[in-house]
Amino acid sequence: MTNFTHPFFDLDGDKLREECGIFGVIGGSEAAATCALGLHALQHRGQEAVGITSFDGSEFFTRRGLGHVADNFSSEETIGELPGTMAAGHVRYSTTGGAGLRNVQPLYADLASGGFAVAHNGNISNARKLRQGLVENGAIFQSTSDTEVIIHLVATSRYPTMLDKLVDALRLVEGAYALIVMTPRGMSACRDPLGIRPLVMGKLGDATVFASETVALDVVGADFVRQVEPGEFVEVDFDGTIRSHRPFGDIPARPCIFEHVYFSRPDSIFNERSVYESRKNIGIELAKESPVEADLVVPVPDSGVPAAIGYSQQSGIPFELGIIRSHYVGRTFIQPSDGARHASVKRKHNANRLLVEGKKIVLIDDSIVRGTTSLKIVQMMRDAGAKEVHFRVASPPTGHGCYYGVDTPERSKLLAGRMDLAAMRTFIQADSLAFVSIDGLYRAVGLADRNNSRPQYCDACFTGDYPTPLTDLLALKEEDAQLNLPVGEDN
């Protein structure tokens, strides 16, 4: 779920941001309270805004707010405003021009068939083209979110049933989506045919629960049943009857491999694998591929910890917390000046000076995006007296943008998009720099190697191998090319 505007990035720039997390429950006596708790477990997937919509059998109720789940859904009075046995919610990151409440999901509309609420994780890569056609035919949009395109496509579908309308709409859609939909007849959950974005199903007593990650099921006390399969539609009515549909046929799945690297919480299960074990295995692969003589393995907290443990175990180099993270610091993009932003790195991370002084250090981080924070952390280690600083990255170089629901800078601002390995090492001022290989990453998640003719995951941010057409991006490039033609040149 993104907006039709340019993304508003964390100015530290070395973390890709998953823009959404979704949660839904049907058949629960305290559906909204369960939903709020589930969203709290998914807070890492979106920290700018949150919304919950409930249904009491006759009417839909919605409450939205900017900020964290706890800022908006921590009181009995608030939860009491969301009655009913069915509820769905959404956490998101905002983007430029899109931080207002009108873009906070779930989005709701009164259709001819009744109320319709949708929570969406992902990004529609032809939303601009679809939106343009809908507007030309008289549609009036209330938000800048690509998710609203789905509502209009459903509203204008000529098919008789809601399932058929939704399938009809999604056949026109390119890109990635995991959806939770509520209507007066029940709840539906679905994933795009490639399963790029995650979605799982659980049971909480008689209630059925859907969530972006298994950790949300754990937190609300639900039992994990299975993942919603790529291209699958799961319908649940108020009697608890569950129906599964596969309208897109059997298409080889390509879920996002970055869920293993960074997006999912380490205590989640993704694609039938422990995320924690995958991250530890990446560290093991890194140690095999890029060994170095050193005294300590130090993670960049917190996302580098599992990979650092794996690197330490494989290499025999002791694991130590050479960087201590403060958990009480806000996002750095609110800082008004470059100086304040630079200071914010030290407010978030501080070197454990007595530990690292005079030592050869292996720093382990999950990724490098722009490289600015990596540079500052390397310098922090040197300022604390580290003798050598070797940087190891638990993902391949991120040299390409993501168009499937991840907040990614344009390629010209990605360090790996404009520099080779030697230049990147010089930029971050490390004594050595190495990334896990793409095949090493695939081995870490339990596969022999990457199948280059039919990749098992979406890894486009590393390889540039996009699994779907990028209609809007290509159209924008064509428009830019036309605008940049020399004066007097024929079109």
**Which residues are catalytic, by number?**
20
For 230-258, b where at least 16 C-beta lie within 10 A, e where not — what string? bbbbbbbeeeeeeeebebbeeeebbbbbb
Separation between Cα atoms, residue 260 and residue 16, nearest integer Å: 13
For 204-221, b where at least 16 C-beta lie within 10 A, e where not — what string? beebbbbbbbbbbbbbbe
Cβ atoms of 416 and 461 closer than 8 Å: no
Q: Write the DSSP symbol of residue 102.
A: G
275: left (phi over 0), alpha (psi -120 to 50) or beta: alpha
The CB-side HSE value for 474 (13 A sphere, CA atoms) comes to 8
Separation between Cα atoms, residue 458 and residue 471, nearest integer Å: 18
Separation between Cα atoms, residue 251 and residue 249, nearest integer Å: 6
Query: What's CA 458's distance to the chain center, in Å?
Result: 13
Among 398, 281, 431, 442, residue whose Cα is nearest residue 15? 398
H-only helix segments in 125-259:
127-136, 147-156, 162-170, 214-220, 258
Q: Which one-letter amino acid corresponds to residue 441? A: L
* DSSP track, 417-428: HH--HHHHHHHH
Cβ atoms of 392 and 364 closer than 8 Å: yes
Give the N- to C-terminal CA distance of the chain in Å, as an integer. Answer: 35
Cβ count within 10 A of residue 62: 16
Q: Give every strand in the sheet of 175-183, ordered side by side.
A: 107-111, 114-124, 175-183, 186-191, 233-236, 242-245
Residue 473 backbone dihedrals phi, psi, to 5 degrees: -65, -45
